[in-house]
Amino acid sequence: MGSAPLASIAIPVGKHLTIGPFNYDTAYSTLFAAGLVVALGLWARSKMTPGVPGKLQLVWESLTGFITEQAEGALGPQASQVVPWALAIFTLVLASNWMEVLPAVYRGTDYVPSPSADVNFCYALGITVWLVTNWAGIRSRAKATGSFSRGYAQWLKMFLSPLHLTEHLTRWLTLALRLFGNIFAGTIMTALLLVLPVYFFPATIGFNAIWWLFELFVGVVQAFIFSLLTILYWQFNVEHH
């Protein structure tokens, strides 16, 4: 006779709660993450003081200063144009990545899947960054030539090489899949660790705590990479050769 497994769990890939073509579980978790970012930003603004900053103001100022430093290193005086985008993307991706550490009941699990673990969220974010950075490049060249049409033609000359064109057109895809792969892998590991019984692995509780900390760290790293690549793609598109 075979023995029953100690624990089992189904980890579906691409299965979501849907209404028509829309994954509404990803939609409401994304809205929650975005709302949290906006609420913290408004709260920090209401508490802002020219004197000794509070903890929340200090966090926002440190984060803004760090993003500004990265942008100035790439774009110099034009950094102010990309800082709001990079900061918004960093905070949104970070909040989305960290959602899986929140305790909740979701489809038989006791964790909330990160919106970043849905490839559709990553696609949307990657396409947004691609469109914004390309529009910045077109506007920059139009300003340099004094004509939008000549600026657009000058921008297109950069992509006559098939290899360069392919690399440029797939930037949004590489952005999306990099984020999705890392966060979805973390979601799988989290699901597996949550079903390990203590009697099977005595150090499960301590190991889970270490894994949660590691997941938080990975969330920060992935948010930073996405934000940094936004700055770099902006730089590539506005540079005049």
Domain count, the chain: 1
Does a structural domain hold residue 1? no
Quick one: tokens of 118? 């849905």
Expressed as residue numbers, the domain containing 82 is 19-238
Quick one: tokens of 87? 């900061």
Per-residue tens of pLDDT for the chain, all 241 residues: 444 444 455 555 556 666 666 677 788 788 888 998 899 888 888 878 777 777 888 888 889 899 999 998 888 878 888 999 999 999 999 998 888 776 554 444 445 667 887 888 899 999 999 999 988 888 877 776 666 566 556 656 666 667 677 777 888 898 898 888 887 777 677 666 666 655 455 555 555 666 677 778 888 888 999 999 999 988 888 875 4
Does a structural domain hold residue 194? yes
Does a structural domain hold residue 9? no
User: What pTM did the predictor assign?
Assistant: 0.75
Does a structural domain hold residue 42? yes
Identify the residue whose tokens are 């100035």: 72
Whether 115 contacts 124, CB under 8 Å? no
Identify the residue whose tokens are 């909330």: 112
Identify the residue whose tokens are 């913290």: 40
Nearest Cα to 96, choosing from 35, 161, 7?
35
Does a structural domain hold residue 101? yes
Does a structural domain hold residue 12? no
